[in-house]
Chains A and B, each alone.
Chain A
Amino acid sequence: MVKRAKGRQESGVVIKKLEELGQGMIREIDARKTPSFQTPLRSKGNVHYDEKLGCLHLGEKNETRSFVNVGQARKFMQTVAIANKCKKFLKEDAHTSIRGLFYQLKFSLGENLDEELFSEQSESNPLIEDLEVSLDVKREDLNLNTDRKGVVAGPLILRDKFGGEETRIDCRKQGRSGWMVPSDVDNGMEIEDLDADYVLVVEKDAMWQRLNEDKFWKKENCILITPKGQASRGCRRLISKLAAKKLPVIVFTDCDAWGWYIYWTIKTGSMNLAYLANDIATPSAKFVGVTMRDIKDYEFLGQMTIKAKEVDLKRAEEMMNYEWIARHPEWVEELKVVLKTKKKLEQDALQGPSLSFVGKYLKEKMEAKKFLP
C-alpha cells in the first residue's frame, strides 16, 4: 500500500508541493520533453481493500498525464491552472468552494479561440481530485471547501478557531437544529470534551429529528449524527475522528441499496475517494439496521416492506461481489434475502407502532448486539 499523508497539512508544505509540480514541468520543457505529472490510477482496477486497516486504498498503478498528447492537452492545461489558482488561495489564506474555484477559472482562452478554460464545473471537479491524489493532499489542504452537510447532537464540545475568534461549541446545546458539520473538521477545530458511550449515525435527517426530539442521545449518552444521506467528507472525517477516540460507531440506515452504500462508504471509504480512505473511513463501524432479519423479530415490519427497485437489486448483486462485503456471511445472507424477496425496508417504517418506537428498537438491538459487521 502506498503510504499517504494523514490529517492536516500545513499550507507552506502544500505550496511547496505545488511549486515542485510546476518546477518539474519546467525542467521537462527545458529538456525538450513534454511536461507531465504522475498520478495514481483511480479506476476500479487500482482500488483495493486493505484487510488489516479495514478500508479501501489505491494500488500502485500510476498513470502519466502529459501535455503534448491530443487526448490530454486540455485537461493538462486545466489541471495546471487549478494548481496555480490553489497556490494563490494558499498564499492569500483565502478559501473557496469548488464551485467558487470553477468560476475563478471560467474565462476565455483568448480572443481568437472560441473556447473557455472551463465551461462546466463537471470538468474541474475530477481535476481537483487528480491534484489531490497526485500531490497527496486533501481538497481542504488546497483551501477548497466542500459543502457542509451533516448534523450533530450529543455530549461533544468543540473549539472552533475561525476568523480570529475562538468559539466553544457544545453539541448538547444546539436545540432542535443541532450543530452543522463544516467541510473541514481538522483546521482550527479541536475536540475539547467528549463524554459519550457511542456514536449513532442515522441516514435520514427526519429520523435524526425524531431521535433528537425523543432526547435519545441524552438517555443513551451517545453522539447522534445524521449525514443527511451520503456522508460528506467533513462528516466522514468527524465520524472517523470520534472512532479514533475509541467510541463505537453504530450506523442506522434504510434496508436498501442507498442505505447500504452510505454505511459502506462510512466504514471502508468509497471507490472514488479511495485515496482518502485512510483519513475518512471508519472500519470499526457496525450496522444496526434496518435489516431483513428484523422482520422475524418485529412482526409488524412484514407489512411495512415496499417493492425493491431495479437499482436496489443491481446494487445488492454488486455488493455481493465486493471482497470487503463478501467476506461477511451475514451481509451475503442479508443481500440474498433482498434479491429473493425483492423487497426493501425503510427506517421510517419503525415509526409504525408508535412515533417513538424507533428508540426502543435501537436499544433492544444494541443490547442484544444484533449488528451486521
Chain B
Amino acid sequence: MADKTDKIFTNFKEHSVAEFFKKNKQMLGFAGKVRSLTTIVHEYVTNSIDACEEGGILPEITVRIAEISKNERYTVAIQDNGPGIPKKHLGKALGQMLAGTKFHRYAQQRGQQGIGAAGCTMFAQITTGKPVKVVSEYRDKRLMCKVGVDIKTNSPDITDEIEEENPQKAHGLFIEGEFGECKYERSAQSPSEYIKRIALANPHVTISLTEPSGETTTYTRSSEIVPAKPKEVLPHPLGLGVSDIVEMAHRDAKSRSISKFLQSGFQRVSSARVDELKGLLDGRTEGLAPIDFEKKPPEMTWGEGEALIKAFAMVKWIAPAADCIRPIGAEQIQASLANILAPEFIAVTERPPKIYKGGIPFLVEAAIAWGGQAGRRSSTNEIGSDIIRYANAAPLLFDTSGCSITQAVKDVDWKRYKMKNFEEEAISVFVNVASVHVPYTSAGKQALSQEEEVYQEIKNAVMEAARRLQLHLSGINKERDQELRRSAILRYVQQLSKDVVDLAGKGKADEVNAKLQNLIETKYKSHIMGEDA
C-alpha cells in the first residue's frame, strides 16, 4: 500500500489560479447557500473515496455538519480511513488550487475538477476568514495543522502545525472547516440527499452523516470489493474545453513547442494530425485565428486555445480508448439499491459502451427500483417518483430540469410500462453516465447536455429496465387477479357443499367441500407457480 499511496503524490504541480476561481466561485459549485454546503460535502467525500480506492482501502467516511449561526454559518467535518496525506503534499492538496492529482490525469474519477478540497479551503477563507483544521495520519506520522490559501499567489498557508508519532500506523484524513453563506435544509439538493446518492452509487462505501439537528444516518456498505482503479489515459482532443487546453498548456513546462505539447499531452494526436491542424490554423481558414505551433505551451493565449478547440472538431480523430470507462456494475447497483431502498422490485440494465460526438465513448447504466422505500417522500409524506442522476458515479443534484438524463427519463412513455402516473409512483430511476469526457452543460458540472446519442442511450437503457418492471407488475396483477378469483369463489364453497348434498340426498358435505376447493385451486392456479395461467 505504501507504494501505491506514494505514487499519488508524485504528480503535484503548481499553478496560480486561485484569484481566477475566487472571482468565479460559482464555477466550483459555490452558487447559492444550499448548493454551497452540498458542494463542500461533495468535494470532501469524493476526495476521500478516490483516495481510499487508490490506496486499495474500503472507504469508511463520517460527515458531520453543525450549525453555528442559523441559515448562515456551519462547520463541516469529515473523517475518512484513507491513506492520509504526507506532510510534503498536504499544503498543495488542501491549500493550492489545481494542484490535485486529478486535473493532470485523465482517468475517470468522481472529483471532476481537481480543485475540490482546496476550493473548499478557499471558500471557508472567503466567507469566514478562517483556515481549515486538518489531521492527517499517514504511515507513522500524525500531522495536525491549519491550512489556508494565499489567494494572490495561490499557495498554501499552513499554521499551528503539530507533528506526532503514529506508532499504530492509523491512517486517515480529518478536515474541519467553518463556512459562511451556507444554508442547511432537507431538500432534494441537500447534503443528506447527496450522501444517500453517494451510498447508492458506491456500494463499497460505508458513510454516515450527522445533520445539524444531531440526527445521524449511516449507510453501510453492501459490497466488500474496492473497485479496480481506473486506467489513466491522456485526454482526447474531442473531450476538452477552451479553459482545459489553456490550463494544460500553461502547466506544461517540459514541451519545447505547442506541436510537441499536443503530441505528448493528448491521446490519438500523431504528427500527421498535428500537420493537419497546422494546415487548418495557418490563417487561411475562415474563422480560425492562426497559431504559432513552435512557441512554448505556456505562451498559449485564450484566443489560440479557442482556435485549437474549433480545429479539433474539424479533424477526423481515432476514437478514444473505451477500456478506460469504469461502470459501477450491475451487481453492485442491484446490491446497493436493495440495501438502501429495500424496494419490491429492481431491474438493472447492462449495456455496452457507445460513442457520441463521433468518437467519445460512454456507457449508460440504468436501474429501476419500485416499491418499498423507492421514490421520493414529500414533507407531507406523499410518494413521488425520483430520478437519481449520476455522472461517473458522482451524484448530480442540481440543474435537474436542464439535464439530458431528466429529459430522457421523463420522455419515456411510462403508461406503456404500467405506470399510470409516473410522477406519483414509488419509483426510483437510477441513471449513471460513465465517460472520460462526460458532456456537461456547464462548468458547474451538474447536468448533462443534450447530446443526441447520449440522450437516446439513456432513454433506451431506462426503457429496457422499465420493460422488466412491466413484466413484474403484470405478473403481480395476474397473480392478484387469480387470487381475487380464487377467493371470490372459495367463499361460497362451504354453503354450496352443504346444500348440494342435502338437495341430492346423498354424498358427504366435507368431501364435496374438499373436491370443490381442489377444483377451484387448480383452475385459478397461481400465475407464478402455474405452467401457463
Contact = CB atoms under 8 A, between A and B. Distances in A.
B434 to A, nearest CB: 50
Interface residues of B, number: 24
Interface in B490-533: 491-492, 494-496, 499-507, 512, 515-516, 518-520, 523
Contacts of B502: 22, 84, 87
Contacts of A87: 502-503
Q: Which of A21, A23, A26 has the most CB of B within 10 A?
A: A26
A23 B492 CA distance: 19
B489 to A, nearest CB: 4
Contacts of B520: 68
Contact of A23 (B488, B489, B506): B506
B503 A19 contact: yes
B503 A29 contact: no
A223 interface: no
B488 A26 contact: no
A110 interface: yes
A67 B496 contact: yes
Nearest to A74: B492
A109 B504 CA distance: 21
Nearest to A71: B488
B485 interface: yes
Contact of A67 (B489, B491, B518): B489
- Which of the listed residues A29, A70, A109 has the most CB atoms from chain B within 10 Å of its own CB? A29
Contacts of A372: none
A67 B504 contact: no
| Interface footprint category on A | 20 to 34
Contact of B499 (A19, A70, A73, A80): A80
Nearest to A15: B505
Interface in A1-57: 18-19, 21-23, 25-26, 29-30, 32-35
B519 A68 contact: yes
Nearest to A18: B503
B491 A81 contact: no
A32 B519 contact: yes
A23 B512 CA distance: 12
Nearest to B505: A19
A128 to B, nearest CB: 15
Given A23-B504, A26-B507, A77 B488 contact: no
Contacts of A30: 515
A77 B498 CA distance: 10
B494 A80 contact: no
A338 interface: no
A29 B507 CA distance: 11
A84 B495 CA distance: 11
B489 A84 contact: no
Contacts of A117: 495
B524 to A, nearest CB: 8
A21 B503 contact: yes
B504 A32 contact: no
Given A22-B505, A26-B507, A84-B503, A109 B491 contact: yes
Interface in B134-181: none
Interface string A67-108: 111100110110011011001000000000000000000000
Contacts, number: 86
Contacts of B504: 19, 22-23, 25-26
* Max count, chain A CB within 10 A of own CB: residue among B496, B506, B507, B520: B496
B503 A115 contact: no
A115 B491 contact: yes
Contacts of A80: 496, 499-500, 503
Contacts of A76: 492, 496
A21 B506 CA distance: 12
A47 B416 CA distance: 46
Interface in B25-46: none
B496 A26 contact: no
Contacts of B512: 26, 29
Contacts of A25: 500, 503-504
A117 B491 CA distance: 11
A368 interface: no
A329 B34 CA distance: 90
Interface string A100-134: 00000000011001010100000000000000000
B491 A113 contact: yes
A25 B503 CA distance: 10
Nearest to B490: A73
Nearest to A32: B519
B500 A26 contact: yes
B489 A22 contact: no
A81 B506 contact: no
A74 B492 CA distance: 7
B516 A29 contact: yes
Nearest to B516: A29
Given A22-B500, A32-B515, A34-B519, A73 B492 contact: yes
Contacts of B496: 35, 67, 76-77, 80-81
Contact of B489 (A19, A29, A68): A68
A26 to B, nearest CB: 5
Interface in A271-308: none
Given A77-B496, A81-B495, A110-B494, A70 B488 contact: yes
Nearest to A69: B489
A117 B494 CA distance: 11
Given A73-B492, A76-B496, A109-B491, A67 B516 contact: yes
A25 B493 CA distance: 13
A109 B491 CA distance: 8
B492 A29 contact: no
A115 B491 CA distance: 9
Given A29-B516, A70-B489, A73-B488, A22 B503 contact: yes
Contact of A26 (B492, B506, B518): B506
Contacts of A110: 491, 494-495
Most chain B beta carbons < 10 A, residue from A34, A67, A76, A109: A67
Contacts of B499: 77, 80-81, 83-84
A110 B512 CA distance: 18
Contacts of B518: 32
Contact of A68 (B494, B503, B523): B523
A35 B497 CA distance: 11
A81 B499 CA distance: 6
Contacts of B519: 29, 32-34, 68
18 contacts: A22-B500, A22-B503, A23-B505, A26-B507, A34-B523, A67-B492, A67-B496, A69-B489, A70-B488, A73-B488, A77-B492, A84-B499, A109-B491, A109-B494, A109-B495, A110-B494, A113-B491, A117-B495
Interface of A: 18-19, 21-23, 25-26, 29-30, 32-35, 67-70, 73-74, 76-77, 80-81, 83-84, 87, 109-110, 113, 115, 117
Which 10 residue pairs across A and B have the least CB separation, nearest first?
A: A22-B504, A22-B503, A77-B492, A84-B499, A73-B489, A84-B503, A77-B496, A23-B504, A80-B499, A26-B507
Given A25-B503, A29-B519, A77-B492, 12 more contacts: A22-B501, A25-B500, A25-B504, A33-B519, A35-B516, A68-B523, A70-B488, A73-B489, A73-B492, A109-B495, A110-B495, A115-B491
